[in-house]
Amino acid sequence: MLYFNALPKTAVIDPNTKSAQVGIDLTARAELLPQLSLNDLLFYKYAIQDQDTPENIAYKYYSDQYRYWMIFYANNIMDPKGDWPLSSIDFQAYLNDKYNALATANNQTVTAYCQSTIHSYQKVITTYDSLSMQTSIKTVDIDAATYANTIPSTSTATFPSSKVTYTVSKNILYVIDYENQLNEAKRNINIIKKNYTTDIESKFVSLMSS
């Protein structure tokens, strides 16, 4: 199925002739229900690699590059450029474009500037439950003064059936780490399993025509 062929039609005005013509409504959208995104039976988990595009992932899983839209659909990606992780080459180009002026003003290269400039200070609280054997990590942005006064520590609360250990630490997040975290957060995606694709396509067409 060609994605744009499924979108609803709408009347558009030709700027040259001022006459009404039939066009495609590019603003039409459909999203998976939030609860479906948590259904492991519906998806494969996939980590996007540097050489990956939505089209070649679609070809790899569905033998059909035109099902690239299903990659976006499965992950509620509305901005194919901004919501897709940058390759290592494009990531460096992005840093150069964003930080070149600041780096030049500080007589540094972009790489040196990003590696030495602090973006934020963080307090990290790690909780470990001996009963469930689960670890949770909570990161909170703090100011420089709070960072300086934060003393790393570990404490344990004892309950009848378990012990919960709390560890407090602190961290400096440099610009390069911040930008890398944002980019890497886009890398892990869901891919709809092949046996559901026909039903998904039919439902999508139905929604767009309603």
Q: What is the pLDDT of residue 1?
A: 76
- CA distance linking residue 139 with residue 33, whole number of Å: 28
Mean pLDDT confidence for 2-30: 78
Q: Where do the structural domains in the chain lie, given as residue ranges? A: 3-84+186-209, 86-116, 118-175
Tens digit of each residue's pLDDT (9 = 90 or more) over 60-82: 999 999 999 999 999 989 898 89
Neighbour count for residue 84 (Cβ, 10 Å): 21
CA torsion through residues 167, 171, 176, 179, sign: positive
Whether 58 and 1 have beta carbons less than 8 Å apart is answered as no
Residue 207 has pLDDT above 90, yes or no: no
Q: Estimate the crossing angle of helix 88-105 against helix 175-184, to 10 degrees.
A: 150
Summarised one tens digit per residue, pLDDT across range 77-120 is 989 889 999 999 999 999 999 999 999 999 999 999 999 999 99
